[in-house]
Amino acid sequence: MSSVKETLPVELLSHWINGERVAGTGKRSGEVYNPATGEVIRRVPFADEADVDRAVAAARAAFPAWRDTTPLRRARILSRYRELVEANRRELTALISEEHGKTLLDAAGSLQRGIEVIEFASGAPHLLKGEHAEDVGRGVDSHSVLQPVGVCAGVSPFNFPAMVPLWMYPVAVACGNTFVLKPSEKVPSTAFRLAELFTEAGLPAGVFNVLHGDREAVDALLAHPDIAAISSVGSTPVAKHIYETAARNGKRVQALGGAKNHAVVMPDADMNFTADALVGAAYGSAGERCMAISAVVAVGDAADPLVALLEEKAAKLKVGPGDQDGIDMGPLVTAAHRDRVKGYIDTGEREGAQLVLDGRGLKVAGHERGFFLGPTLFDRVQPGMTIYQDEIFGPVLIVLRVPTLDEAIALVNRNPYANGTAIFTRSGAAARHFEHDIQVGMVGVNIPIPVPMAFFSFGGWKASLFGDLHMHGMEGVQFYTRTKVVTTRWPASDEAKAHGFAMPTH
Ligand code: NAD
């Protein structure tokens, strides 16, 4: 018999368009879970083409006045927004943890990284300064201006409900664009709350809109003639689809994809420090981080002591609901994703990797319907195995053994993904060799998750990013602006007024 609680209807969320809640006309909707209990806690509306039109129309209507708002005034709204997000930190953190499953501490850290992008974008008047050169020809000067591109769209993944959207829209809006965000349908509430707070901070209606939905909404955004630029973060097949479709439709696009991040461990590394770092980087957020370390490459004699320490430390991790004290790792986001990750553990065992720690049997008392999976460790993994080839995106760490640093570097460079990587060593020479030769976008030296701060740019290489420019930092400003170069002459004398028929040779 179902309980009274289970039979109560769950709330249906709204879109945020033109500064207000909008129900939308889309007929479809999805379920939002609390992954720790396995319960459906909300329903999320899926936008149809008409909803997309409405959101884009609001952003388009808001663009001329926002473009003409001075960067200083835009920056003041962003500064107020940062204060409001900080003041509501507790509520936002709880929402992130409730719908994603990660611990409150981890959710707070991810929100903080996002807040720092608002802080960076608040420097708009400085960031939007162009260049000036006097006398590019005799009596001729040139200057460049950075102008907004128009209506921009963002598509974000489930694993960072606040941080990834915040990589995009504060910079876009600071540059004078208007924005339509399509957050992940698995974790929709945080983005909606962030939109409400932006309006409360004084942002004019229509400048920032949140549209819920799935592939249908994304495809309508990709085809929409009034969208000038698209930023997206998600798995590699989706990133490739977004990149190719948006580019074919003449849009500027940056599409960040999946990852398989390697940590190379040298025999001279401080093994205890390294194992602590790797356990946090592999199992934090249940491995559902684009910068999680999912493959360890142990060089030479590093392997035996390292695997022993990893096993010992991973076995001690406390797995449970993210909102409880003392928990290291929460559940996976959905039952389907948990089962997919479990399937990879079955495959790894079948393909002959050595299963050192098996998380499949884990039960969390009182949360039997939650989507939990314990930390899992494989040793002696071969590059041809499925658990090395695929992005698993769960609490599964694999160890590969190689004899030399050069072979470790070659292995990392052969992998199609290239988001983040790290080396653990006491040798400056080894670290420098690694930093110089590794073909990966973000590199850590004795830092397992080398996420660039807001004032640098975030992005991988190869199958981890389709497009040319990374997110936030100055590459974010470049992505959300077009450069115009103005060449000026103020002729005073007849000589200066003379026009030639040939191109000037100066
Ligand atoms: P996903 O690719 O399933 O979804 C990402 C977004 O795309 C969501 O908003 C979703 O609604 C939309 N989408 C899904 N299928 C689509 C389709 N066929 N066409 C158009 N849109 C579609 O990713 P996810 O499961 O939400 O997130 C996890 C993935 O994101 C992992 O692969 C992870 O590595 C990646 N990720 C990468 C980074 C990075 O910085 N490179 C950061 C975070 C997450």
Catalytic residue among 22, 201, 290, 329: 290
> Which residue, 56, 76, 151, is CA-closest to 480?
151
CATH assignment at residue 416? 3.40.309.10
Cα 64 to the chain's mean position, in Å?
29
Residues 238 and 188 in one domain: yes
State in Å: Cα 156 to ligand 1 middle. 6
Inside any domain, residue 492:
no
- For ligand 1, pick from 31, 99, 102, 159 the residue to mutate: most ligand atoms within 8 Å of CB: 159
Long-range contacts of 125-131 (CB under 8 A, 24+ apart): 125/70, 125/71, 125/72, 125/75, 127/174, 127/175, 127/474, 127/477, 128/71, 128/174, 128/175, 128/176, 128/477, 128/481, 130/483
Q: Which residue, by CA, sits nearest to atom 17 of ligand 1?
A: 215
277 and 188 share one domain: no
Q: What is the pLDDT of residue 6?
A: 52
Question: Are 138 and 68 part of one and the same domain?
Answer: yes
Ligand 1: which of 156, 181, 190, 235 to mutate, most ligand atoms within 8 Å of CB? 235
Q: Residue 1 has what pLDDT? A: 36
273 in the same domain as 170: no
* In a shared domain, residues 277 and 252: no
Counting beta carbons within 10 angstroms of the beta carbon of residue 506, is it exposed (0 to 12), middle (13 to 18) or buried (19 or more)?
exposed
Distance 157 CA to ligand 1 centre (A): 4
pLDDT attached to residue 506:
63
Nearest CA to ligand 1 atom 6: 157
Residue 248's CB is within 10 A of a number of other CB atoms, namely: 11
Q: Rounded to the nearest whole angstrom, what is the distance from the C-alpha of residue 151 to the centroid of ligand 1?
A: 22
477 contact partners, CB below 8 Å, separation of at least 6: 127, 128, 146, 171, 175
500 CB-near residues (< 8 Å, 6+ apart):
none
Of 177, 193, 236, the C-alpha closest to 56 is: 177
3-state secondary structure of 47: coil
Ligand 1 site residues, Cβ closer than 6 angstroms: 155-160, 164, 182, 184-185, 214-215, 218, 233-235, 238, 241, 256-259, 290, 391, 393, 419, 460, 464
Q: Mark whether 153 and 50 lie in a shared domain.
A: yes
Same domain for 419 and 275: yes
Residues 141 and 28 occupy one common structural domain: yes
Residue nearest to atom 30 of ligand 1 (CA): 234
Report the nearest-CA residue for atom 42 of ligand 1.
290
Nearest CA, atom 32, ligand 1: 235
In a domain, residue 51? The reply is yes
Residues 271, 308: contact at Cβ < 8 Å? no
Instruction: Dig out the tokens for 188 from the structure.
Output: 């929709």
CATH code for the domain in which residue 189 is found: 3.40.605.10
* Distance (Å) from CA 154 to ligand 1 centroid: 12
Task: Please tell me whether residues 156 and 284 are part of one structural domain.
Answer: no
Rounded-to-integer distance, Cα 423 and Cα 435, Å: 9
The residue among 250, 227, 226, 253 whose CA lies nearest residue 242 is 253
Residues 285 and 371 in one domain: yes
490 inside domain: no
- Residue 263's alpha-carbon distances to 49, 279, 400, 433, in angstroms, are 44, 11, 10, 15
CA of 136 from ligand 1 middle (Å) equals 46
247 within domain boundaries: yes
Give me the pLDDT at residue 504, please.
Answer: 75
Q: What is the pLDDT of residues 365-394, one digit of tens each?
A: 999 999 999 999 999 999 999 999 999 999
Query: Residue with the nearest Cα to atom 31 of ligand 1?
Result: 235
> What stretches in the chain show pLDDT beneath 70?
1-8, 495-499, 506
Q: Is 152 a catalytic residue?
A: no
Residue ranges making up the domain that contains 266: 261-445
Domain count, the chain: 2
E strands present in 138-174: 140-148, 151-155
393 and 336 belong to one structural domain: yes
Which tokens sit at 88? 């509501």
Residue 379: phi and psi, rounded to 5, are -115, 165
Question: Rg of the Cα trace of the chain?
Answer: 25
Distance CA 213, CA 469 (A): 26
Quote the pLDDT of residue 500. 73
Instruction: Please give the distance, rounded to the nearest whole angstrom, from the Cα atom of residue 466 to the centre of ligand 1.
Output: 13
